[in-house]
């Protein structure tokens, strides 16, 4: 072999490889064009995010009376639903006051309250005094609330729940919390008081609404064919759901489920490249394509060159590459199943506006039964939020889901509060019948240090009606999940497909 010629040819091959990589770089730069813009700071609150796939139903305010008189408007077969305890009465009242003041004084949707014990007379009396809307109270039987007897009898049941406390898993040591999550995951939609409705709006004690909702969200969902609506989308704590995704993937495989495109919202996809089995196993992230492809091409080029020169021995550089590759292990990603991992993003289910039959039918119910058999509702602390989200991911397309960006909302320390639509505000006009109860309500109404967020110079990306927002940061601005929602609802979004690699160097 003539060493000079060999080296020259190698240089040329490597140059070609580098050129090929440049093309790759361009391809995924284009892929990522939109996302890159925002990926660094996850700051969306000042960005117009509405698209054909999903946008706020009504930006700014409407007059509720004329809205209800529009042709085609029909009140929907819908209810609020809250599972709660007698001790939480003051938080319950505060939620009712907020929702009555900001929405239900104009629409009069009924409430369903559910408890695992009887509601006290005091609870019933005070709740009834807080609204003119119809209220129903339901008490759960042991069958509806408790874990099945054969589970409860197991020694490992109590042990497992206590152990979660020892390991510091949030709420992990509270048996009641596990029951609550299980109830919302697999039972609330079967409860007769809920099943008699087509739509529900889930609420909780101590939530706060910041904007007026002057249109009917149930009607708009129905009119546009939406099935599930949310206000907060964020990451779950890993240690509360370590095996949830493993079971979900098994369920998909066993039942040959073709997921909708919403599925991509909840997974990290490791199907990055195809066409080369070695590279498929080494590349798990887009950022790894370049260096892996270059290495692969160098090795290939050296092998080819050595072969062409009719020599059996490779030069030392070639050997180095090969030895390096041979010594490396395929990277292990512990939670990768079928090339996917749960990205922990989920709709925060303490607020949901959705169709009851989404859960109360076929696939989701089967999914819940499967999860129930796995024991994860007590061996781990699976929340109803990630369970709902993955279940929805099995069934729905992105277009079926609605982000109620215009609903300002707070639960615990997490806040979403939109800017007001500048040129679509109307004065607040109280429903005269509501004024009778509102006096009581206003007395108890929590006073915040209210600040209205101002919009930028030339933009009106506001969507809210009479929002009065607290100072704290918006959840839209501080989590990666929201970026995924932003991506997936873009009109030009396409489901991810692996980049087809063609590493054939023989054509010269």
Ligand X SMILES: *[C@@H]1O[C@H](CO)[C@@H](O)[C@H](O)[C@H]1NC(C)=O
Ligand Y SMILES: Nc1nc2c(ncn2[C@@H]2O[C@H](COP(=O)(O)OP(=O)(O)OP(=O)(O)O)[C@@H](O)[C@H]2O)c(=O)[nH]1
Determine if 204 is a binding residue for Mg ion (CB under 5 A).
Answer: yes
Tally Cβ neighbours within 10 Å of residue 435: 12
Near ligand Y in 174-213, by CB under 6 A:
176, 180, 204-205
- Does position 361 interact with ligand X (CB under 6 A)? The reply is no
- The three-state secondary structure class of 340 is strand
58 binds, among Mg ion, ligand X, ligand Y, none (CB under 5 to 8 A by kind): none
- Nearest approach in angstroms of CB 268 to ligand Y is 25
Q: Give the chain's end-to-end CA distance (angstroms, integer).
A: 20
Contact 489, 432 (CB under 8 A): no
- Residues 76-135 interacting with ligand X (rule: CB under 6 A): 77
Residue 54 and residue 59: Cα distance in Å, rounded? 13
Q: Residue 202, SS3? A: strand
The partner in contact with residue 76, picked from ligand Y, ligand X, Mg ion, none with C-beta cut-offs of 5 to 8 angstroms by kind, is none
Rg (CA), the chain: 28
How would you label 257-275 residue by residue, b for 16+ Cβ within 10 Å and e otherwise? bebbbbbbbbbbbbebbee
User: In angstroms, how far is CA 25 from the centroid of its own chain?
Assistant: 30
By C-beta, is 193 or 299 nearer to ligand X?
Answer: 193
- Tokens for 229, please give them: 């609506």
Q: Name the minimum Å distance from CB 237 to Mg ion.
A: 15
DSSP for 108-167 reads ---EEEEESSPPPHHHHHHHHHT-SS-EEEEE--HHHHSPPHHHHT-HHHHHHHHHHHHT
Of the candidate residues 85, 366, 455, 490, the single one contacting ligand Y (CB under 6 A): 85
Sheet holding 228-230, edge to edge: 135-139, 111-115, 78-83, 199-202, 352-355, 228-230, 401-403
Restricted to residues 395-454, the positions that interact with ligand Y (CB under 6 A) are: 412
CB of 199 to ligand X, least distance (A): 8
Which listed option, ligand Y, Mg ion, ligand X, none, makes contact with residue 83 (CB within 5 to 8 Å by class)?
ligand Y
Residue 197 binds: one of Mg ion, ligand Y, ligand X, none (C-beta under 5 to 8 A by kind) = ligand X
- Binding residues for ligand Y, total number by CB under 6 A: 13
Does the CA dihedral 65-67-72-78 come out positive or negative?
Answer: negative
**Count of positions on this chain that bind Mg ion (CB under 5 A):** 1
- Look at the block and give the residue holding tokens 């050595």: 306
Q: Does 198 bind Mg ion (CB under 5 A)?
A: no
CA distance 168 to 180: 19
Q: How far is the CB of 83 from ligand Y (least distance, A)?
A: 4
Q: Which is nearer to Mg ion, 204 or 304 (CB)?
A: 204
The only residue of 88, 175, 198, 304 in contact with ligand X, by rule CB under 6 A = 198
Q: Which is nearer to ligand X, 355 or 405 (CB)?
A: 355
Which position's Cβ is nearest ligand X? 77
Whichever of 82 and 241 has its CB closer to ligand Y, that residue is: 82
Q: Which is nearer to ligand Y, 91 or 242 (CB)?
A: 91
Residue 82 in the binding site for ligand Y (CB under 6 A): yes
172, 240 Cβ separation under 8 angstroms: yes
- Closer by beta carbon to ligand X, 198 or else 460: 198
352 is an active site residue = yes
d(CA 262, CA 402): 12
Site for ligand Y contains 81 (CB under 6 A): no
Tokens of 44: 């969306």
Residue 173 CB, shortest distance to ligand Y, in Å, is: 13
Q: Exposed, middle or buried, 454 (CB in 10 Å: 0-12/13-18/19+)?
A: exposed
357 contributes a contact to Mg ion by CB under 5 A: no
The answer to whether 161 and 175 are in contact (CB under 8 A) is yes
CB of 114 to Mg ion, least distance (A): 15
Q: Which helix (H) or strand (E) holds 25?
A: helix 3-31
| Catalytic residue (one of 59, 220, 280, 352) | 352
- Contact positions vs ligand Y (CB under 6 A): 82-85, 88, 115-116, 176, 180, 204-205, 350, 412
- Interacting residue ranges for ligand X, rule: CB under 6 A: 77, 196-198
Q: Which residues bind Mg ion (CB under 5 A)?
A: 204
Active site residues: 352
């Amino acid at each position: 072999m003539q060493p000079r010629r060999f080296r020259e040819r190698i240089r040329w091959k490597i140059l070609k490889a580098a050129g090929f990589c440049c093309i790759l770089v361009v391809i995924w730069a284009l892929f990522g064009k939109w996302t890159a813009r925002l990926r660094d700071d996850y700051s969306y609150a000042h960005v117009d995010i509405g698209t054909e796939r999903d946008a706020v139903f009504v930006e700014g305010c409407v007059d509720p009376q004329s809205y209800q008189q529009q042709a085609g408007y029909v009140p929907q077969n819908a209810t609020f639903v809250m599972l709660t305890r007698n001790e939480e009465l003051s938080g319950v009242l505060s939620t009712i006051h907020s929702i009555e003041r900001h929405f239900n004084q104009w629409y009069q949707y009924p409430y369903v309250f559910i408890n695992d014990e009887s509601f006290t007379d005091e609870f019933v009396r005070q709740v009834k005094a807080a609204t003119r809307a119809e209220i129903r109270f339901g008490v759960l039987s042991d069958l509806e609330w408790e874990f099945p007897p054969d589970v409860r009898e197991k020694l490992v049941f109590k042990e497992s729940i206590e152990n979660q406390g020892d390991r510091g898993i949030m709420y992990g040591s509270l048996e009641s919390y596990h029951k609550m999550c299980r109830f919302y995951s697999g039972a609330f939609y079967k409860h007769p008081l809920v099943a008699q409705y087509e739509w529900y709006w889930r609420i909780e004690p101590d939530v706060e609404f910041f904007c007026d909702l002057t249109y009917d969200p149930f009607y708009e969902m129905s009119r546009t064919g939406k099935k599930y609506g949310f206000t907060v989308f964020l990451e779950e704590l890993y240690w509360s759901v370590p095996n949830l995704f493993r079971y979900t993937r098994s369920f998909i495989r066993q039942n040959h489920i073709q997921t909708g495109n919403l599925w991509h919202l909840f997974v990290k996809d490791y199907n990055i490249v195809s066409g080369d089995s070695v590279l498929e196993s080494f590349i798990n992230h887009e950022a790894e394509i370049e260096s892996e492809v270059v290495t692969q091409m160098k090795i290939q080029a050296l092998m080819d060159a050595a072969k062409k020169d009719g020599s059996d021995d490779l030069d030392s550089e070639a050997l180095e590459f090969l030895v390096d590759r041979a010594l490396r292990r395929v990277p292990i990603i512990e939670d990768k199943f079928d090339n996917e991992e749960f990205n922990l993003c989920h709709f925060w289910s303490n607020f949901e506006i959705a169709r009851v039959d989404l859960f109360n039918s076929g696939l989701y119910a089967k999914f819940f039964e499967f999860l129930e058999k796995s024991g994860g509702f007590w061996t781990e602390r699976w929340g109803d939020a990630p369970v709902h989200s993955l279940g929805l991911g099995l069934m729905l397309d992105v277009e079926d889901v609605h982000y109620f960006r215009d609903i300002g909302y707070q639960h615990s320390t997490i806040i979403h509060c939109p800017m007001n639509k500048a040129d679509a505000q109307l004065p607040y006009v109280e429903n005269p019948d509501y004024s009778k109860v509102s006096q009581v309500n206003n007395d108890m109404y929590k006073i915040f240090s209210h600040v209205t967020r101002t919009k930028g110079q030339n933009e009106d990306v506001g969507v809210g009606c009479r929002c009065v927002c607290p100072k704290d940061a918006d959840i839209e601005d501080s989590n990666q999940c929201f970026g995924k929602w932003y991506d997936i609802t873009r009109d030009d979004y396409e489901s991810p497909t692996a980049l087809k690699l063609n590493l054939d160097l023989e054509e010269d």
